[in-house]
Chains A and B, each alone.
Chain A
Amino acid sequence: MKSYVDFLEESKKSSTLRTSKLFSYLILFQWIAVITFAIIITPKTWKGAESSIHIHIWLAIVLGTITSALPLFLLWKKPLEPITKHVVAISVMVMAGIFIHITGGRIESHFHLFGVLAVLSFYRDWKVLITATLVTSVDHFVRGIWFPISVYGVEASSPYRVIEHALHVVFQDTFLILGISHSLKEMTKIAKQQAENQSLIQENLETEVLLKQQAKREQSLHKVSKNSLELTDVIQIIHTQSKELNTQISQLKEAAGEGESNMENSLAQIKNLSEITNQSSVSFQNLSQSTGKIKEITNNINELADKTNLLALNATIEAARAGEHGKGFAIVAHEVKELANQTKKFTTEIQEASNTFTEGIRTNEALINTGCQNAETGFSASKESQDAFHELFEELHLMADKVSNITSTTDELFSKSQLISKEADFLRGL
């Protein structure tokens, strides 16, 4: 909230800006006026039939422009700076001097100086008037020393003349300063009134805001009561559901425990199976080796049969040579030959059976190996399943703890929401 000092400062700022704008126009007007007057009144200076531009023209253009330029620049760029007011004061007083000069020092043109002094009081700053007065005093003082005739009309003047001249300005200053003081007091009074009005408006606004806030509070309490009741219901549902969940988790825990122990049994059985298949594999390997030996034996028998056959052939030949005497021998040789042929036939059958047997052993061996590998894979998978069951069990255990916590928390929430509802009802009743 603004204090009366803020209102006063704002008012002063606005007044300074207004006055700055006024002086911008005044300085421009003065500048144009002095040039115009110089051109009209003293265009040329003469020496016989010859003429040249009068020094007043240069005075108005050069000095007038320089004197006006700086205050106009400051009024444009820094209208609120205190230095601007003093530069303006110096400028308007110097321009008033130039104006008096160009108009030939007429008494009437001196009124311009006093008029400008009055306008300077619009700044409501006594220091500006002092600056303006100093400009006139310094001008008169300096000219009183070097050019007394131009100010006092005599070649030698009393130093007190400057005081006499300055007193005329001081006389006006005194009343202008009193006017400034009065004006500042009025501004302060108005600022105080504004601050007071502002606080009254603020109070009214605050009361209105309080009433609105009260209504909103009641609405909110109603909503709180309603929502807390709904919340109680919801909490109750959560409480029931969490209890159910807890039971289900316990059941799951049991199932997971059973699963884990079942998996342990399966693992033991798979392990046994694996051992058995390993043993079977070894047995089949032994069998395979035995069939190899049978093959070797049948090969030997086969060789013996061939040799016996060849012997029988030789005996037949010899029996033939022996003629009649050899007939019986030939019959024996024939029989031996038959026996050898049957032996060979049997060994071939044995070899074929052995080959089939070996093939069967190899197939079974491969199958047993595959079974072994499958048993190992099954063992790993079962092991993983057992671990998973274990983890599941652990997780369920943790979950059960959390659900228990939720259940107890919902118990607390339930009782607290009931309390909130009661408190809201109590507040609404106030």
Chain B
Amino acid sequence: MEIHSFSSYFSSGHSFKFRIEPREMIDKPLKGLITAWLLVIGISTYFIASYETTAGIVDSPPLHLPDPLKSKIGKNKNLLIMGLHPKCPCSLSSIRQLEKLLTQSNHDPKSCVFIFFKPKNEEDLWVQGNLSRMAQRLKVQNIIDEGGDLLELLGIRTSGHTLIYSNSGRLKYSGGLTPSRGHEGTNSFSRAALDALRNETQTQVEGLVFGCSIK
């Protein structure tokens, strides 16, 4: 069945016609199979999306930078702290997002601190992995937090949780940088963090965090 003529295109003068053939007959078993197949794909996609967008637990961080970290703060610079589980694959997206953020804000990586969780009685080698390698590449400061006391002090319970403190030690941002678990891309949280780094906002902003549980 011809619906309508389509426009001629370019200079060749060809005319194009959309054609829809009479409805093709699909046998019943195949129709059922395709419907079931689409349902399985739809349901699976829904569950995956649900899992990916379920935010991790976030405790209230200290409004002022705790003493153990005051030495890390640079002159006239904001301090960005990111708590990480060294083996969390989802946090790769958080670090990539941070990398973009540093470029966009022109923030000095040396004013960034990655706090890696390390269980007690584990070797330092346990911390080594993709995340530590990325940290080295970014040239940020690294802290290995054995037992996770420091992270607990900062209220960080989910890998990728980022805190931004002002030069004066005041909390400006608390939350994640990714739109969902292990998924990078521009989002409202990263934009809020960017605003905080650029000192474009004075209000304290909170965002959701997506990643593995640190403890």
User: Which of chain A's residues has its CB closest to B6's CB?
Assistant: A181
Q: Scoring B residues 13 to 26 as 1 if CB is less than 8 Å from chain A, else 0, what string do you get?
A: 01010101100101
- B213 touching A153, Cβ below 8 Å: no
On whether the beta carbons of B52 and A150 are closer than 8 Å, the reply is yes
Chain A residues near B159: list those with CB within 8 A: 46
13 CB contacts below 8 A, A to B, read A47-B215, A48-B213, A48-B214, A63-B41, A67-B41, A97-B45, A105-B93, A146-B50, A147-B49, A149-B208, A153-B189, A178-B9, A182-B12
Q: Pick from A41, A45, A67, A154 the residue with the most CB of B within 10 Å.
A: A45
The answer to the question of A209 belonging to the interface, with a C-beta cut-off of 8 Å to chain B, is no
Find chain B residues with CB under 8 A from A46 CB.
85, 87-88, 159, 212-213
Type the 1/0 row for A172-186, where 1 means its CB is closer than 8 Å to any CB of B.
000001100110010
Contact of B24 among A56, A62, A83, A154 (CB under 8 A): A83
Q: Given A42-B182, A43-B89, A147-B49, is A182 in contact with B14 using a C-beta cutoff of 8 Å?
A: yes
Q: Which residues 61-119 of B have a CB within 8 angstroms of A?
A: 85, 87-90, 92-93, 96, 117, 119
Question: Interface residues of A, CB < 8 Å — how many?
Answer: 49
Contact residues of A between 64 and 88, Cβ < 8 Å to B:
66-67, 70, 81-83, 87
- Rounded to whole Å, the gap between the CB of B58 and the closest CB of chain A is 15
Proximity string of chain B (170-192) to chain A, C-beta cutoff 8 Å, 1 when within and 0 when not: 00000000011011111111100
**Which chain B residues lie closer than 8 Å to A101 at the CB level?**
48, 52, 183
Considering the chains assembled together, what is the distance between the CA atoms of A124 and B128 in angstroms?
Answer: 51
Whether the pair A150, B179 counts as a contact (CB closer than 8 A) is yes
Q: Is the CB of B183 within 8 A of A49?
A: no
CB–CB B212/A47 < 8 A: yes
Shortest A411–chain B CB gap in Å is 71
Q: Does A321 contact B (CB under 8 A)?
A: no
Query: Which 6 pairs between the two chains have the least Cβ-Cβ distance?
Result: A153-B187, A181-B16, A105-B183, A42-B89, A49-B119, A153-B179
Q: What is the CB-to-nearest-CB distance from B204 to chain A, in angstroms, rounded to a whole number?
A: 18
**In the complex, what's the smallest C-beta–C-beta distance from B134 to chain A, in angstroms?**
13
Smallest distance from the beta carbon of A36 to chain B beta carbons, Å? Answer: 15
Q: How far is the CA of A42 from the CA of B89 in the complex (A)?
A: 5
Q: Does A106 contact B (CB under 8 A)?
A: yes
Judging by beta carbons under 8 Å apart, are B188 and A155 in contact?
yes
| B30 and A83 contacting across the interface, CB-CB below 8 Å | yes
B201 located at the interface, meaning its Cβ lies under 8 Å from any Cβ of chain A in the complex: no
Interface residues of B toward A: which range?
Answer: 35 or more
Q: Which residues of B contact A178 (CB under 8 A)?
A: 9-10, 16
- Given A83-B30, A153-B179, CB of A44 within 8 Å of CB of B37: no
Q: How far is the CB of B124 from chain A (nearest CB, A)?
A: 14
Complex-state Cα separation, A139 to B119, whole angstroms: 40
Sample of 13 more A-B contacts, CB < 8 Å, known A101-B52, A105-B179, A146-B46: A45-B90, A45-B212, A47-B212, A54-B89, A105-B93, A147-B52, A150-B49, A150-B52, A153-B186, A153-B188, A153-B189, A153-B190, A182-B9
A150 to B9, Cβ gap below 8 A?
no
Give every chain B residue within 8 A of A54 (Cβ-Cβ): 89
* Closest chain B CB from A60 CB (angstroms): 11
A42 to B, closest residue via Cβ: B89
Return the CB mask of B108-151 against A: 1 if under 8 Å, else 0. Answer: 00000000010100100000000000000000000000001000
Q: Is B34 an interface residue (CB 8 A)?
A: yes
| Residues in chain B near residue A305, CB distance under 8 A | none
Contact in complex: A143, B89 (CB < 8 Å): no
Contact B182 A104 (CB under 8 A): yes
Docked complex Cα distance between A56 and B90 (Å): 11
Instruction: Say how far A180's CB is from chain B's closest CB, in angstroms.
Output: 9
- A55→B48 contact, CB < 8 A: yes
Q: Which residues of B have CB within 8 Å of A90?
A: 38, 41
Tell me, in angstroms, the Cα distance from A62 to B47 when the chains sit together.
Answer: 13
List B contacts of A153 (CB < 8 A).
179, 185-190
Q: Does A7 contact B (CB under 8 A)?
A: no
Known: A126-B18, A181-B9. A147 touches B180 (CB 8 A): yes
Q: Which residues of B contact A82 (CB under 8 A)?
A: 21, 24
A413 at the binding interface (Cβ < 8 Å): no
Within the complex, the shortest CB–CB distance from B86 to chain A, in Å, comes to 9
B87: which of A44, A126, A143 is its contact (CB, 8 Å)? A44
Instruction: Name the A residues within 8 Å of B87 (CB-CB).
Output: 44, 46, 51
- Indicate if B168 sits at the interface (CB-CB under 8 A): no
Cβ–Cβ < 8 Å partners of B153 in chain A: none
Contact check, A143 vs B213: say whether CB atoms are below 8 A apart.
no
Residues of A within 8 Å of B199, CB to CB, are none
CB–CB B186/A87 < 8 A: no
CA A70 – CA B36 in complex, angstroms?
A: 11
**How close is B92's CB to chain A, nearest CB, in angstroms?**
6
**CB-based nearest A residue for B87:** A46
Q: Which of A113-147 contact B (CB under 8 A)?
A: 126-127, 139, 142-143, 146-147
For B207, give the chain A residue with the smallest CB separation: A155
Instruction: Enumerate chain B residues within 8 angstroms of A42, measured Cβ to Cβ.
Output: 89-90, 182
